[in-house]
Amino acid sequence: MTAPIRQKWQSVRDEVRQRIHAREWPPGALMPNEADLATEFGCARTTVNRALRSLAETGLLDRRRKAGTRVAQQPVAKATFEIPVMRKEIEARGKRYRHELLSRAVSVPPAATAVAMGCGSGAKCLRLRALHHADERPYALEDRWVNLAAVPEARNEPFSEISANEWLLMQVPYTHGAIAFSATSASNAVAIPMGCKNGASLFTIDRLTWNKAEAVTKVRIFFQEGHQLHTLL
């Protein structure tokens, strides 16, 4: 069923992976060098290099100059998650998306937030709280701070029609960010709009976004009870 792999570097990658799984090259073993493998596989060294590099990126191989390439002793699992725009995530599940702005106000964030964003302790930020609905059922609650020093245009944007989630992506480029996953217990302020019990266990994403040296936005998203984030290894 699966189409045969035509690309040579993928064949090499698969063959190497195969040998590792077959214990031909057990964990910790030193593999032949690139030039020898290229000869054996009848291809250019560049091709072997690409294959081995891709395996090293997944953590299966450990490569060092002069020391050579070794099979990792304890491969560290690397899981890559895609964090799509909320609208797309919901529509991809075949549900209808709706965005509801709960509150919008300019204020000075609490000290902990200001520190995390690295903006002055008296800096004005725009705070937005919004619900993302899937088929009219609350799917996620978003609690966001937007740094007005970095994004002055946000002051004039109502965010009633378009979610801050999407608006920021369109308007403001970002250079880097940090993200954290955790589990939190629903407080009243969260449980009431979400329609879940107080104390319910909610999957939570915290995300901080920067543009150069300036924090753009900090957002915490609470997902409805039972929400899971999946991926393949």
Partner DNA sequence: CAGTGGTCTAGACCACAGG
Partner DNA sequence: CTGTGGTCTAGACCACTGG
Q: Which of residues 59-78 bind DNA (CB under 7 A)?
A: 63-69
Nearest distance from residue 231's CB to a second copy, in Å? 6
Nearest distance from residue 105's CB to a second copy, in Å? 27
Tell me which DSSP letter residue 23 carries. T
Instruction: Work out whether 45 is an interface residue with DNA (CB under 7 A).
Output: yes
Number of residues that bind DNA (CB under 7 A): 28
Residue 20, strand partner residues = none
Radius of gyration of the chain from its Cα atoms, rounded to whole angstroms: 24
Which residue type does 52 have?
L
The interface partner of residue 175, options being a second copy, DNA, none and the CB cut-off 5 to 8 Å by kind, is a second copy
Nearest distance from residue 108's CB to a second copy, in Å? 26
Number of residues that bind a second copy (CB under 8 A): 52
The interface partner of residue 203, options being DNA, a second copy, none and the CB cut-off 5 to 8 Å by kind, is a second copy
Instruction: Work out whether 189 is an interface residue with a second copy (CB under 8 A).
Output: no
Per-residue burial over 3-23, b if 16 or more Cβ lie within 10 Å, else e, is eeeeebbebbbeebbeebeee
Residue from 100, 85, 10 nearest 47 by CA: 10
Q: CB neighbours of 96 closer than 8 A, spacing ≥ 6?
A: 90, 134, 135, 136
222 in Cβ contact with 194 (< 8 Å): yes
Instruction: Work out whether 181 is an interface residue with a second copy (CB under 8 A).
Output: yes
Which residue of 16, 25, 34, 167 would you call a contact of DNA, by CB under 7 A?
34
Tell me which DSSP letter residue 161 carries. S
Nearest distance from residue 82's CB to a second copy, in Å? 5
Q: How remote is the C-alpha of 154 from its chain's centroid?
A: 24
Instruction: Work out whether 54 is an interface residue with DNA (CB under 7 A).
Output: no
Which residue of 75, 95, 108, 127 would you call a contact of a second copy, by CB under 8 A?
75
Contacts with DNA by CB under 7 A lie at 6-11, 31, 33-35, 42-47, 49-50, 52-53, 56, 63-69
